[in-house]
Amino acid sequence: MENQNDTAITPGMQEYINQSDRIRAERTNYINSEVKKWRFDTIAVHGLYSVQDALNFHQGAIIEPAFLSSSQAYRDSDEMAAALAYKIPTWCYSRIANPSTYYYEWTLALLEGYGFSGETSCCSTSSGMSAIFSAVTPFLTVKRRDEPINFVATAQCYGGTFQQFTVRLMKERQIECRWVVDATDIDEWASKIDGNTRFLYGELPSNPQLGFFDIAQVADLAHSHELPLIVDSTIATPALLRPLCHGADIVVQSATKSLTSSGFGICGAVISRKPITANLEEAALRDDFAFNIKLLQNRDLGPNLHPMQAILTLNDIRTLRSKMDLMSRNTMQVAKFLQDHPKVERVEYLGLKNHKLHELASKYMWLVDAEHDELYQKPVNRYGHLMSFCVAGGIEPARRFFDSLQRIWRATDLGRIKSVATIPAISTHQQQGEEARKMAHVPGNMVRLCVGAEHPDDIIADLDQALHKA
């Protein structure tokens, strides 16, 4: 992971370094004196892109420009040498950094760190899957061939995550993933940890089962073993849940989903607190994890985010809080309808008071800044736009229902402004097999539904007519 270079610092390079230090000090002061005093919505709209940036560097553009150039030119050899030695900020090559991804990264770092007293940083990635791989890879270095390293993860997780851990890590690299079946049981977590465990990993709310666990409790357990807790918080987004505030060290986002609700592309992010708790030899990785995997690991592996996608996602993020509020309220109405429907076996939605994890989820899932919202003026729980339900009668009725949907889109997507449904057993979780689906509580008659911003009456009407054909 170390950046190997033996570049001697010339007087010209030192001048560039001094200029860079002044700019970074100004940025830090701006964040601490201005940005961190803003409400969530203001950060989502502006991020770190200021009027001064626009006037000084970007022709006064109100919206962050999309920098489609693959590389940056330098004034002279001293500036190039300082940049490529990472002594000064640089856009040397878009595989490593780009002005558009810079603003994307800072917006997510600030949003995930909203309410967190410490500092955060972010590494953009080309997808949610590359975010997961980027986050776990630094902990999986095998120093000896006979070293049997392992990590602990929740069995209730996205099918792609299961495949990455089971096939790419366990089968191909002989790195053991120890699955936690009941993530609410802290003793089960503890029983999986030994001297060769490298990190703890959890997804919440999980896709599609709506699994949940006590973040602070699991973080404390991880830290007692000098291990980091990595959390996939894609479904909640920082509008409803910010795991770093509860002790998690690293958050991964498939920004493809709720953060890019328009559905205009694929992207991801790794956001970390500074420093993380980890038994790592490289002090720089502990001190600023996301920044270091961006400049070193991902420079070499290449899971970079396209600058145009960074701008498209930034545009969607600006209204994140209001969209998550609206879609959460819509989903609650739909869940209440489904739980009373005779053709529905059971409903998994954390907002339902009779859900076994409702109380635990209510401890953590809050609409950010609701107490400062004129509409609410008090803290308000919100549970997101993802739910699942099992159609009564088994697999064939579930498929008849699914095939009869007219307004709701049949797709493997989620987090859209439009409502989307899928059957996980034949789509997102197909490849992991029946036994693994059983462990993860994904039966064949389960339908995953992501409710969008349509009027809930229209979604309910479509569900009702399709259920009558099941």
pLDDT digits (tens, 9 = 90+) for 37-96: 999 999 999 999 999 999 998 999 999 999 999 999 999 999 999 999 999 999 999 999
Lowest mean pLDDT among 127-141, 234-248, 429-443: 429-443
Torsion of CA 114, 115, 118, 119, to 10 degrees: 10
pLDDT tens-place string over residues 284-297: 999 999 999 999 99
pLDDT at 431: 81
In angstroms, the CA 345 to CA 429 distance is 20
Domains of the chain: 11-317 (3.40.640.10), 320-467 (3.90.1150.10)
**Confidence (pLDDT) at 145:** 67
pLDDT exceeds 50 at position 322? yes
Average pLDDT, the chain: 95
Task: Report the pLDDT value the prediction gives residue 5, as an integer from 0 to 100.
Answer: 63
The answer to whether 92 and 123 are in contact (CB under 8 A) is no
Average pLDDT, integer, range 419-437: 89
Residue 146 in this model has a pLDDT that exceeds 80: no
> What is the maximum span of the chain, computed from C-alpha positions, in angstroms?
78
Residue 2: the pLDDT is 47
Mean predicted confidence (pLDDT) in 237-253: 98
